Amino acid sequence: MALHVRGVVLPDEAVRDLWLVGDRVTCQPVAGAQTVADGGFILPGLVDAHCHIGIARGPAPVTSLEQARALALTDRDAGVLAIRDAGSPFPYPSFDHDPELPRLVRAGRHIAPVKRYLRDLGVEVTAEELCAEVIRQAAAGTGWIKLVGDWIDRAVGDLAPAWDTAIMAEAVATAHTAGAKVAAHVFAEESVAALVRAGVDSVEHGTGLSPDDLDEMARRGTALVPTMINIETFGEIAALGEAKFPTYAAHMRAMHARFPSVVAAANEAGIPIYVGTDAGGGIDHGLVAREMLLLHNKAGMSAEAVVRSGSWGAREWLGLGGLVEGGLADLVVYDTDPRRDLRVLLSPRRIVLRGRVVR
């Protein structure tokens, strides 16, 4: 049965009627359509652009499709109707067209340095093996790979690049040749500078970004997914490592303290910023609205910019589009305008995914 919704369709200002026929939107009236929302503000489905439905709280890999499915449903019920899964140790290509689950853009497994990443989560490779693994993971994902650009090096007691910067640049070029974009996990200054200049497509976290790095990202159009809710845990991470690695602990605290100003500067520079929670591991699923509130309250992004970064802007970035004629039938309805008060994002009134009411 066709569905009908009426309300202010963001980012427009006017009240409009939309009809949902199967998985598509039309602005042409459909006789007999069931009205499922009348009034309020209609937003293209939210996006979590850095999420791991293959990782449970812990962190630990999920062990079954049922467990991964439950995590995806938690995100969906928060209004997230599209996920860029930024690395999963558990494969689930069967979810790509599951009508109950958010639309997925997958990055294969994390590609990580040997014995310098979270156990069991990534494929750990030497520099000599890196580019071959990039090709394998490009084939395993759906348009992205996830490169771990840095992690703690216990020999030096601090964060350090995962591999030689020239090798990482070669890996980025290899991914692009294989038709995949590169999402780079990166915290520290040296590694983020190298990866930005290597041409990664998105910087994940990016706590060590300098003004020069931001200028380069703006020039290249490189995206930033800051995962501020994840960076909020840096104090706890520093405390855990302080006894053995005091330099690392101090570094993590310093990056945490300056990060809101980094994100604010990125926004002012016109860098595309997208909402991502890093759900899985240390962050629960379903917290996309909290991430959006942090971008507004801590980094000073306007509410409208935040909503764009977590909805229609992110959907366009991932190739999913908005609520236009022939567009995908994903939408969330809110009682009031989230651009005026982001807290309404915590309480969606209606969620429609793939043309079906799910809440």
Domains of the chain with bracketed CATH: 3-43+321-357 (2.30.40.10), 46-317 (3.20.20.140)
Considering only CA atoms, which of 270, 267, 260 is closest in space to residue 294? 260
- What does the pLDDT read at residue 13? 86
Q: Give residue for tokens 């938690």.
A: 74
Return the CA Rg of the chain: 20
- What does the pLDDT read at residue 1? 87
Q: Are 110 and 134 in contact (CB under 8 A)?
A: no
Taken in order 114, 116, 118, 122, the sign of the CA dihedral is negative
pTM, rounded to two decimals: 0.97
- What does the pLDDT read at residue 344? 98
Cα 33 from Cα 187, distance rounded (Å): 50
- What does the pLDDT read at residue 322? 94
- What does the pLDDT read at residue 58? 81
SS (H, E, C) the chain: CCEEEEEEECCCCCEEEEEEECCEEECCCCCCCEEEEEEEEEEECEEEEEECCCEEECCEECCCHHHHHHHHHHHHCCCEEEEEECCCCCCCHHHCCCCCCCEEEECCCEEEECCCCCCCCEEEECHHHHHHHHHHHHHHCCCEEEEECEEEECCCCEEEECCCHHHHHHHHHHHHHCCCEEEEEECCHHHHHHHHHHCCCEEEECCCCCHHHHHHHHHHCCEEECCHHHHCCHHHHHHHHCCCCHHHHHHHHHHHHHHHHHHHHHHHCCCCECCCCCEEECECCCCHHHHHHHHHHCCCCCHHHHHHHHCHHHHHHCCCCCCCCCCECCEEEECCCCCCCHHHHHCCCEEEECCEECC
Which amino acid, 130?
Answer: L
The rounded average pLDDT for each run of 10 residues, N- to C-terminus, in the chain (359 residues) is 96 95 98 98 98 89 94 98 96 95 97 95 97 98 98 97 97 98 98 98 98 98 98 97 97 98 98 97 95 98 98 98 97 98 98 97
Structure tokens at 61: 């890999």
Q: Are strands 202-205 and 181-186 parallel, antiparallel or unpaired?
A: parallel
